[in-house]
Structure 1
Amino acid sequence: MHADLELLGARIRAARQARGMTLAELAAAADMSTSTLSRLESGKRQANLELLIPISRRLGIRLDDLVHPTAPDPRVRRDTEERGGMRVTPLTPEDSPVQTYRVTYPPSQELPQLRMHDGYEWCYVLSGKLRLRVGDHDLELSRGEAAEFDTRTPHAMSAAGGKPATVLSIFNQAGERMHTRLGDAGAAPSAGEPAPES
């Protein structure tokens, strides 16, 4: 059996602790010495079926849960939405503390109404040009430029130059700075979902 010993031991320990069992209790139930189980949990003992089968039975889990734990599907499957002419594609799960979106702003001659809300935003221009108004700053960001700003400062975004602008936007809803300074253009991060006016 070629399971990673350290990970295997950590899985056994986690399952044991989740069930409120001590090393001695699980070792006795699995008919082995406490030192054997301790060495197995610390990755210092080679695992074999004779040891793992009784352990998994006493823990009430499958052998596969120890050897090949099932990882959740990492893909994010959320629909793109149209919001006030913008195309907004969520790139993170709904319950993520930091939300990431791919936002395409349509060409516009008018800057949307300035908005304020708690949090920080970091944005990166993927294509086109983005007009970003933050407080007294009225900026134009080109492809490859980034900005970070406090969304409690009045702000608004729109495409500039008569063509759509596609932006990667990261919103920290906890209101903490994200420390991801990558570019020049105005200064500080935003929280909440992209809205037609922002």
Structure 2
Amino acid sequence: MLIHPWDAPAEDAEWRTWLAAHDFGQLAVNGLDGEPPFVQPVHVAYATGPGAYGEALLHLARPNPLWRALAAAPRVTLSVVDDYAYIPGPWHAPVGAPPEHGTPTSYYAAVQLVGVAHVLDDPEEKAELLRRRLDHFQPDGGTARPAVGEEPFGRMLSGIRGVRIEVTEVRAKFTYGGNKAREVQRRVTGLLARRDGPRDRAARAQQVRRLAAADREP
């Protein structure tokens, strides 16, 4: 993933904060013998520590076809993308230029977690992984915590396998026109508010946040 300097996070806290609120992505696993990679949509719970970049927790059904590929090449990439919007060319036209000279582009935030996947088959390890995921997704309860040999989920543990990704590298970018003149960026924030499409508010919020941070820089 190409990351220009103006799209890079200012510090680790920026991508960590964003990732904490965006927990659905795609797990990419190298295919076997030159086959295309497996790409699995999945909810993931990211947690800080151990290590510099923390870990990501997920589980998949035992019949999933990616297990052989994962055993052969456990180094994986988990990609999360959201807060995206299409920006029409006229919106991005340079100051003083004809609108039709503007270049269309995409705004989006993306975090890629690269690391080593450890497959969990021990029933207690899987139950603990599921409890941690429930603590992330349902901290207020409402669902029984899985326990080995106990209803309602103990008997279901054999049907899944857990995955703990030990994150060794993070690639993050926030593409919101950071290389454009402030006047152009503020023009886009206004036009996003006016269009108010399905993801325009989220994209606009990211752009406004990035603009405010840039304005605070000395």
Confirm or deny a common fold (TM above 0.5). no
Q: Larger RCO: Structure 1 or Structure 2 (Cα < 8 Å, ≥ 6 residues apart)?
A: 2
Normalised by the size of structure 1, how large is the TM-score? 0.25
Quick check: which has more Rg, 1 or 2? Answer: 1
Higher helix share: 2
